């Protein structure tokens, strides 16, 4: 199962990686602004506290801020591996 948002690319889950990739691809800053707005509305997990670099769930009509530690071991492992790879 692939959780990333860019076809043919390594899995991209982290907010920081998505924002860097948007800049690299020339995606309008309004997308980054919307991601930041949604994160500002949901800055913390009730169980784990502040989410500095959360997982992003992105569909055609919504952006979700997701706690990596609440996402289960498979997704958490992918999120941690992405941080080590420095994807983006």
Question: Is the per-residue pLDDT at 1 higher than 60?
Answer: no
Distance CA(80)–CA(31), nearest Å, equals 24
> pTM of this prediction?
0.78
Residue identified by tokens 């800053």 is 29
What is the predicted pLDDT for the residue at 12?
64
Residue 20: both structure tokens together: 């860097």
pLDDT digits (tens, 9 = 90+) for 9-59: 445 689 998 898 889 889 888 889 999 999 999 999 999 999 999 999 887
Q: Please report, for residues 10, 44, the alpha-carbon distance to residue 15 in angstroms, rounded to integers and kept in the order given.
A: 14, 14
Question: Is the per-residue pLDDT at 79 higher than 60?
Answer: yes
pLDDT band at 7 (very low <50, low <70, confident <90, very high): low
CB 35 within 8 A of CB 25: no
């Amino acid at each position: 199962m692939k959780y990333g948002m860019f076809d043919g690319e390594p899995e991209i889950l982290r907010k920081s990686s998505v924002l860097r990739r948007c800049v690299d691809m020339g995606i309008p800053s309004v997308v980054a602004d919307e991601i930041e707005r949604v994160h500002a509305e949901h800055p913390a997990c009730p169980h784990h506290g502040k989410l500095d670099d959360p997982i992003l769930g992105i569909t055609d009509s919504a952006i979700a801020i997701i706690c990596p530690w609440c996402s289960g071991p498979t997704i958490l492992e992918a999120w941690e591996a992405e941080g080590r790879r420095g994807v983006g």
